[in-house]
Chains A and B, each alone.
Chain A
C-alpha cells in the first residue's frame, strides 16, 4: 500500500470520530468544523432507519431510538455499500445485543423483522416470471405461485395487534409477504401453521393441492377431511384472488 501508516491513522481517526464522537488528535483540522461531519453522517443514517422502521421508531420514542441508532453505528461495522440495505443490519444487530430483552419489549425483534421484510420484498431483484395458465383445476393441476415472496414466522403477532396487546399473544404466527408482479405493490396475508405449510408445498415442492392436503391431514392429525378440503380450497382461491397464486401448469393452455 502506498499510504503511509500516519495517513492511514489520520483517516481512521477521522472516521472513528464521526461514528463515536470520541475525538483523537487529528492534525491539521479545524476543530469547530469536524462536528459537522458527525452531524451529516448521522443525518443520513437516522433518516434511512426512520424511514425503514416507522413503527419501531414511533414506539421507542426519540430518546430510546436515537440511542439505539447511535450505538448501532458506533459498535457495528456497516457492511452494505448500498444504504437501503442497511436496515437489515440493524435487525441483525438488535438480535446480537438482545435488544428486545434489554428494552423489555419481547416483540421488538419480530417488529423489526416485519418492517424490514416489507422493504426487502418491495426492493428484491425480479424473479423470472414463470409461465402459467390463468385457469385450471385447483386440486389436481400443479400450481404456479408468485415467486416474489417471503414467508416469515413470528412469535408475536405484530402485524395484527398493537404493542400494548401483542405481548400477551405469544404464539406461532406466519405472514406471507409478496409482491404484485404488475404493480410492484407489497401485500400481506396472515397464515396459520397449516396454511403456511400448504403454501410452501405449492411454492417449493410443486405438489398439487390434493396431495399436499393429504400430507397435511397426516402431519397435523386432522380427521375432518371435508372441512380441511373446504378450508384449503377457500385459502387457495384467496391466494389466487390476491395473486399470491398466479395460475396453473396446465399444458393444454400453451
Chain B
C-alpha cells in the first residue's frame, strides 16, 4: 500500500468503488459504521474488503476520556479488524465520551502532562489487547483547553510514551496552524516522521476570517497540497488517504483529486507506477 492513494469508504461512494469507477489503492472503514451490521450494507462491506486492502479509522474508542475503556466495544472491534484483514488501525487523539455519555464528536484533550500519561497508558492497553499497533491521529481543534504545553510536544510525548504509530493528517496540521497561528512545517518537523503509518488528506471550510473547520466537505486546497508535498519529501513512502465525508462531488472530480495526490507521490517517492495495491 505504501505510496498508493486510498479513499475513505463511505456509503455514498460504495458502489462506485466496488464497480471500479473509483479505483483506490486501498480503502478505509470507520469500523463503528460497519461492525455488527448485516443485510445490504454488510454485503457491500464484505465485497469491498475482498476487492481492496483495508485500513480502519476508529471514531468511538475515546482514548482521551477520563472514562474507563469500553472493553465490550473493543472486543467487537478486534473481531472486525480480524475479519476484514485490516492492515492498519488508527484512532483520534481526542475524546468522544465523558461522564458515561458518548458525544459523537472529537473533543480536544488538554495538552497536559497527566493527560499524556493517562492517554499513553490507554493506548498501550488497547494495543496489547488488539495485538496490533494503533496509529494515533493529530486532530483539528478550535480552542486549546487548559494547555500546559504546545500541541507538537503533546503529540510527540504520547507517541514516545505509548510506543504507538502516527496517522499524520496534513490537513489537520494546516487547519490548526491557521487557527492557532503557528507554523505548519515547524510543527511537522517536531514530529517523529519515522513513526508515520499513513497520511490523511482532506478539504476543509473557512467559516470566519480566522477560523477553519475541518469538515471534509470540500476539495483539498492548494496550500494543503503544497504542505503535503513538502512533508512527503521528508519521509519514506507510506499510504495516503483522501477523506471526503459530505458534499460529494462527481466521480471524475474525486478521481482528479486522487490523481493529483498520486502525481505528487510519484515526484517524491520511488514507488511502482503499476502496482496500485
**Chain A residues within 8 Å of B, Cβ to Cβ:** 1-4, 7-8, 10-12, 14-16, 18-19, 26-30, 33-34, 36-37, 40-41, 44-45, 48, 76-84, 86, 121-127, 148, 179, 183-185
Given A3-B115, A3-B118, A37-B105, verify A82-B142 contact (CB < 8 Å): no
- Interface readout for B108-124 with A: 1 if CB under 8 Å, 0 if not? 11101011011001000
**Chain B residues within 8 Å of A, Cβ to Cβ:** 32-33, 35-43, 59-60, 64-66, 70, 73, 95, 98-105, 107-110, 112, 114-115, 117-118, 121, 142-147, 207, 211, 213
Chain A residues in 8 Å Cβ range of B121: 2
Choice from B33, B70, B144 contacting A30 with Cβ under 8 Å: B144
Bound together, the chains give a CA A84 to CA B59 distance in angstroms of 13
Chain B residues in 8 Å Cβ range of A7: 66, 110, 112, 114-115, 118, 146
Listed residue (B36, B70, B101, B108) with the most chain A CB atoms within 10 angstroms of its CB: B101
Query: Would you give the shortest CB distance from A14 to chain B, in whole angstroms?
Result: 6
Bound together, the chains give a CA A30 to CA B147 distance in angstroms of 12
Chain B residues in 8 Å Cβ range of A14: 98, 107-108, 145
Chain B residues in 8 Å Cβ range of A28: 110, 144-147
Query: Would you give the shortest CB distance from A16 to chain B, in whole angstroms?
Result: 7
Whether A27 contacts B146 by the Cβ 8 Å rule is yes
Besides A11-B64, A37-B107, 7 other CB < 8 A contacts?
A: A11-B110, A12-B99, A27-B146, A34-B143, A37-B105, A78-B101, A127-B38
Closest to A182 in B: B43
Chain B residues in 8 Å Cβ range of A1: 66, 118
Whether B33 contacts A125 by the Cβ 8 Å rule is no
Query: Would you give the shortest CB distance from A133 to chain B, in whole angstroms?
Result: 24
Query: Would you give the shortest CB distance from B63 to chain A, in whole angstroms?
Result: 12
Choice from A34, A80, A126 contacting B102 with Cβ under 8 Å: A80
Query: Would you give the shortest CB distance from B99 to chain A, in whole angstroms?
Result: 5
Query: Would you give the shortest CB distance from A122 to chain B, in whole angstroms?
Result: 6
Whether B39 contacts A148 by the Cβ 8 Å rule is yes
Chain B residues in 8 Å Cβ range of A30: 142-144
